[in-house]
Homo-oligomer: A and B are copies of this chain.
Amino acid sequence: MEGSTLSDAPFVDASAAPWKELSKGVKRQILSYGPDLMLVRVAFEPGGIGALHHHPHRQATYVAAGSFEVTVGESNKTLRTGDTFFAASEVPHAVKALEEGMLIDCFTPARTDFLD
């Protein structure tokens, strides 16, 4: 179970938060969240893919490590550590890890679909 309630606990100890494998070489950890804001991180092995998808939630993503080929709508760009992307509501987006890496994804509202 990744999480069960819309907690707004003040602190999350990442070493105690469970990881969920999403696909080969890609796993997600739910960190802090409340009803209208959720922060998760996604770890990628080289070549790991977040397939093209869309959702009503707005998403801002920070490259915490590594480099990624990123698609947002009709645009493509290679992002490196420190760079970010933004996906407005229902705008398709995808990522491919060019090396081992980590993304910090922020959503509004919270991705309640991530909660078991």
Question: Quick one: closest B residue to A109, CB to CB?
Answer: B108
Interface size class of chain A, counting residues whose CB lies under 8 Å from the partner chain = 35 or more
Copies in the complex: 2
One of B9, B10, B85 near A11 (C-beta < 8 A): B85
Q: Does A114 contact B (CB under 8 A)?
A: no
A36 to B107, alpha carbons, bound, how many Å?
10
| Binary interface encoding of chain A residues 1-43 relative to chain B, with 1 for a CB under 8 A from any of its CBs, else 0 | 0000000111111110000000000000001111011110100
Question: Quick one: closest B residue to A31, CB to CB?
Answer: B84
A35 to B77, alpha carbons, bound, how many Å?
23
Question: Quick one: closest B residue to A87, CB to CB?
Answer: B10
A10 to B84, alpha carbons, bound, how many Å?
8
With a 10 A CB-CB cut-off, give which of A13, A70, A82 has the most chain B CB atoms.
Answer: A82
Q: Cβ of B82 and Cβ of A39 under 8 Å apart?
A: no
Q: Cβ of B34 and Cβ of A88 under 8 Å apart?
A: yes
A35 to B8, alpha carbons, bound, how many Å?
22
User: Chain A residues in contact with chain B, CB under 8 A?
Assistant: 8-15, 31-34, 36-39, 41, 58-62, 64, 70, 72-73, 75, 77, 79, 82-88, 91, 104, 106-108
